[in-house]
């Protein structure tokens, strides 16, 4: 989510990071050691590495993109490159089962919404059916429903005030969470299998969740409704996510601060909440008015039960989702996995807020493809790390381990539970690098290079730049490429020292004021800003979805593709443009690369756009029907691979 009021929830990280001068000093001393390695200015090593061990531009995964780039748009519908078809697969309010309740705009009940596709689809995963089959024509579509927009759900409504009755709050809760849907590709396009036993909703209203890992059952996780601290009702603000090698979906709880209101007792817990921006009145104030658990005065521990990664097994419709606390608590954008050289699994995640950090978790155990039981709880034991960018080309992952370094009782940490519940404060003490709103973090399936997407940070001041966030303000966002070392030719995602370079600095390279940089020339329609979610197609090319171009540049959020190696690598070109007011989430390919699913989130969410007078009625375009966030399936008219 980005648009009003969500794009400006301030800065809550007031910890002090070394100034650019300190970093330059560190770089100079390293330079002395490296003797003769040129580091001329902040961009002197753009696309290279200080260590010189290998170039981040190397690789054998080159596959040329071949589609005709589209122009810039800002209108009420979507646009795609010539030769491609766009099908609206499922919309907010569509019944997830055959015979389920039809969408009644403005008159839904919570019970109906529980049986319908939720609002504001964000992350989407395509999981083949049968499990492990690799099928590209039958699978499970798993979608996150990040948040709700009352003024596009009902006439004259906002997140608070008298219009937000208990019934409406319950509808909102039911519109949050996840959907799991069986879909199949037929001669007529993709279809929902309305009779499938897999189809389910997991909402903020009634879904029971388990808790595992270091914080499970801890006193700070206990509430009046759950004195055990291991049973949580619901999940919300599920932004992006990831898929595990063992076939589960990870769903990331992001902007949890919007849901809590009221005044808790002064003390350490209040200070801990403040570090997460949880204080006073949240955007969804009515939730606390109607449900005590969102009232900080009544349930001060309830916020500690959100901000986690939730693991869902979509292949078992009766499975209970589990909050995996070992992965830390923050405003998780995503949770993408990478299998390392030795069978351990890394989970990458950004904390999407200005001046927050990038994390990875590495499992202690190894993934065993032959023994599903051994993988079930792999995410409960391991090490959580936070990224510290040392200098051009070198970065370090620093462990968040209770008892190590500053993470001791002297700083208020009495166990690993405290460390994961207050992961942000622990990361502050470790000197993590404050980033420009880290969104998706995703490892390339062939090279293992990790792409870290910073969407923007208009509030970074000149004195606050650091080696990995060089622009102040950063209006256009950037993408960093972390290069893990190779062991026997296989990426080591457990490594604590990695190389890195800038993949791109967003903006218009023809406008010197933007400070944009691309590794190869881009066209006037190919430059981007506000990158958010990324995906890789089966040929290793990166597809980048944006969130906020309309605000920053005046044209619709779009999807861009770029090669990640070869003579044109890093040169983005525009493939798809969203209807006005929307951002694009969850790019996801079928294994054969012949379908690209996109989540079109918050269409018509613009200033002055309301339920009665929305700026678009995409995709229905029918009077009386509001804009509806939807998942679209893009295929090539001739049935070939996307992008070729």
Q: How far is the CB of 229 from Ca ion (least distance, A)?
A: 29
State which residue, 76 or 146, has the beta carbon closest to ligand FEO.
146
State which residue, 447 or 533, has the beta carbon closest to ligand FEO.
533
Per CB under 6 A, 178 contacts ligand FEO = no
Q: How far is the CB of 61 from ligand FEO (least distance, A)?
A: 28
- For residues 217 and 211, the answer to whether their CB atoms sit within 8 Å is yes
- For residues 564 and 501, the answer to whether their CB atoms sit within 8 Å is no
Per CB under 6 A, 563 contacts ligand FEO = no
Centre a 10 Å sphere on the Cβ of residue 318 and count the other Cβ atoms it contains.
Answer: 7
* Bridge pairing between strands 517-518 and 497-505: antiparallel
In the list 61, 146, 418, 588, the residue contacting ligand FEO (rule: CB under 6 A) is 146
Give the C-alpha separation, 99 to 481, whole Å.
47
State which residue, 76 or 351, has the beta carbon closest to ligand FEO.
351
Give the C-alpha separation, 251 to 241, whole Å.
4
CA dihedral 258, 264, 270, 272 (to 10 degrees): -40
Tokens 């001791």 map to which residue?
408
Q: How far is the CB of 92 from Ca ion (least distance, A)?
A: 18
Stretch that binds Ca ion, among 63-71, 262-270, 531-539, 563-571 (CB under 5 A): 531-539
> What does residue 12 show for φ and ψ, rounded to 5 degrees?
-110, -5
Per CB under 6 A, 1 contacts ligand FEO = yes
State which residue, 334 or 390, has the beta carbon closest to ligand FEO.
334
Q: How far is the CB of 129 from Ca ion (least distance, A)?
A: 27
- For residues 534 and 542, the answer to whether their CB atoms sit within 8 Å is yes
- For residues 336 and 275, the answer to whether their CB atoms sit within 8 Å is no
- For residues 561 and 65, the answer to whether their CB atoms sit within 8 Å is yes
Give the C-alpha separation, 595 to 641, whole Å.
8
Per CB under 6 A, contacts with ligand FEO among 352-371 are 352
State which residue, 241 or 434, has the beta carbon closest to Ca ion.
241
Q: How far is the CB of 432 from Ca ion (least distance, A)?
A: 20
Per CB under 6 A, 239 contacts ligand FEO = yes
State which residue, 418 or 439, has the beta carbon closest to ligand FEO.
439
Binding letters toward ligand FEO, positions 310-339, x by CB under 6 A:
-----------------------x------
Residue 416's Cβ-count burial label (10 Å; 0-12, 13-18, 19+) is: buried
Per CB under 6 A, 253 contacts ligand FEO = no
Residue 165's Cβ-count burial label (10 Å; 0-12, 13-18, 19+) is: middle
In the list 114, 428, 532, 557, the residue contacting Ca ion (rule: CB under 5 A) is 532
Per CB under 6 A, contacts with ligand FEO among 17-76 are none
Identify the CA nearest to 223 among candidates 316, 177, 291: 291
Q: How far is the CB of 592 from ligand FEO (least distance, A)?
A: 29
Q: How far is the CB of 546 from Ca ion (least distance, A)?
A: 9
Residue 41's Cβ-count burial label (10 Å; 0-12, 13-18, 19+) is: exposed
Partner touching 299 among Ca ion, ligand FEO, none, CB below 5 to 8 Å by kind: none
110 contact partners, CB below 8 Å, separation of at least 6: 167, 170, 171, 173, 174, 205
Per CB under 6 A, contacts with ligand FEO among 418-477 are 439
- In eight-state DSSP terms, residue 221 is G
Binding letters toward Ca ion, positions 406-445, x by CB under 5 A:
---------------------------------x------
State which residue, 144 or 325, has the beta carbon closest to ligand FEO.
144
State which residue, 289 or 332, has the beta carbon closest to ligand FEO.
332
Q: How far is the CB of 323 from ligand FEO (least distance, A)?
A: 18
Partner touching 146 among ligand FEO, Ca ion, none, CB below 5 to 8 Å by kind: ligand FEO
For 604, left (φ over 0), alpha (ψ -120 to 50), or beta?
left
State which residue, 330 or 413, has the beta carbon closest to ligand FEO.
330
Per CB under 5 A, 237 contacts Ca ion = no
State which residue, 439 or 557, has the beta carbon closest to ligand FEO.
439
Q: How far is the CB of 336 from Ca ion (least distance, A)?
A: 13
Give the Å distances, CA to CA, from 601 to 148, 252, 266: 10, 16, 38
Instruction: Show the tokens assigned to 186.
Output: 């037929």
Give the C-alpha separation, 346 to 78, whole Å.
36
Centre a 10 Å sphere on the Cβ of residue 485 and count the other Cβ atoms it contains.
Answer: 17
Per CB under 5 A, 302 contacts Ca ion = no
Residues within the interface to Ca ion (CB under 5 A)? 2, 439, 532, 547
Residues within the interface to ligand FEO (CB under 6 A)? 1, 146, 239, 254, 333, 352, 439
């Amino acid at each position: 989510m980005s648009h009003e009021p969500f794009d400006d929830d301030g800065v809550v990280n007031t910890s002090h990071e070394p100034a650019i001068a300190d970093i330059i000093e560190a770089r100079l001393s390293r330079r002395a050691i490296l003797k003769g390695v040129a580091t001329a200015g902040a961009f002197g090593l753009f696309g290279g590495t200080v260590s010189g061990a290998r170039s981040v531009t190397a690789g054998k995964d080159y596959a040329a993109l071949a589609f005709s780039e589209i122009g810039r748009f800002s209108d009420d519908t979507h646009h795609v490159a010539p030769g491609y078809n766009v099908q609206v697969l499922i919309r907010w309010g569509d019944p997830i089962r055959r015979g389920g309740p039809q969408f009644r705009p403005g008159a839904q009940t919570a019970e109906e919404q529980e049986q319908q596709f939720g609002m504001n689809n964000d992350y989407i995963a395509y999981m083949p059916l049968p499990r492990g089959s690799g099928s590209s024509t039958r699978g499970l579509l798993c979608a996150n429903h990040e948040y709700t927009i009352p003024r596009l759900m009902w006439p004259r409504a906002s997140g608070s005030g008298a219009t937000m009755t208990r019934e409406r709050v319950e509808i909102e809760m039911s519109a949050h969470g996840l959907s799991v849907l069986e879909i199949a590709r037929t001669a007529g396009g993709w279809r929902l299998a309305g009779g499938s036993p897999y189809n389910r909703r997991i909402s903020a209203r009634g879904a029971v969740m388990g808790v595992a890992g270091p914080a499970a059952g801890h006193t700070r996780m206990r509430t009046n409704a759950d004195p055990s601290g291991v049973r949580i009702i619901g999940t919300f603000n599920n932004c992006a996510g990831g898929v595990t090698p063992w076939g589960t979906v990870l769903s990331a709880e992001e902007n949890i601060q919007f849901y809590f209101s009221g005044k808790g007792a002064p003390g350490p817990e209040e200070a801990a909440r403040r570090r997460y921006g949880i204080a006073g009145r949240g955007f969804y104030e009515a939730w606390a008015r109607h449900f005590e658990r969102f009232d900080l005065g009544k349930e001060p521990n309830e916020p500690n039960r959100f901000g986690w990664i939730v693991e869902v097994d979509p292949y078992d419709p009766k499975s209970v989702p589990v909050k995996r606390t070992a992965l830390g608590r923050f405003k998780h954008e995503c949770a993408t996995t990478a299998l390392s050289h030795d069978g351990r699994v890394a989970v990458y995640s950004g904390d999407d807020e200005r001046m927050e950090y990038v994390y990875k978790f590495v499992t202690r155990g190894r993934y065993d493809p032959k023994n599903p039981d051994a993988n079930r709880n792999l995410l409960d034991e391991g090490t959580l790390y936070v990224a510290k960018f040392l200098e051009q080309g070198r970065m370090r992952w620093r462990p968040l381990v209770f008892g190590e370094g500053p993470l001791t009782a002297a700083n208020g940490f009495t166990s690993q539970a405290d460390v994961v519940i207050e992961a942000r404060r622990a990361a502050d003490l470790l000197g993590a690098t404050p980033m420009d709103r880290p969104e998706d973090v995703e490892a390339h399936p062939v090279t293992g290079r990790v792409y870290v997407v910073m969407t923007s940070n208009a509030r970074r001041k000149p004195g606050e730049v650091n080696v990995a966030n060089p622009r102040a303000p950063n209006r256009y966002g950037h993408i960093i490429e972390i290069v893990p070392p190779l062991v026997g030719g296989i990426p080591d995602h457990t490594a604590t020292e990695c190389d890195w370079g800038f993949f791109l600095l967003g903006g218009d390279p023809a406008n010197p004021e933007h400070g944009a940089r691309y590794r190869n020339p881009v066209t006037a329609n190919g430059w981007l800003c506000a990158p958010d979610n990324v995906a890789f197609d089966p040929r290793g090319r990166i597809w980048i979805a944006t969130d906020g171009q309309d605000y920053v540049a005046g044209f619709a959020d779009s999807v861009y593709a770029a090669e990640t190696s070869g003579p044109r690598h890093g040169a983005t070109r525009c493939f798809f443009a969203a209807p006005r007011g929307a951002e694009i989430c969850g790019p996801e390919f079928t294994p054969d690369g012949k379908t690209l699913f996109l989540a079109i989130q918050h269409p018509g969410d613009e200033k002055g756009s309301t339920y009665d007078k929305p700026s678009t009625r995409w995709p229905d375009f029918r009077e009386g029907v509001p804009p509806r966030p939807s998942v679209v399936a893009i295929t090539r008219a001739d049935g070939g691979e996307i992008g070729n």
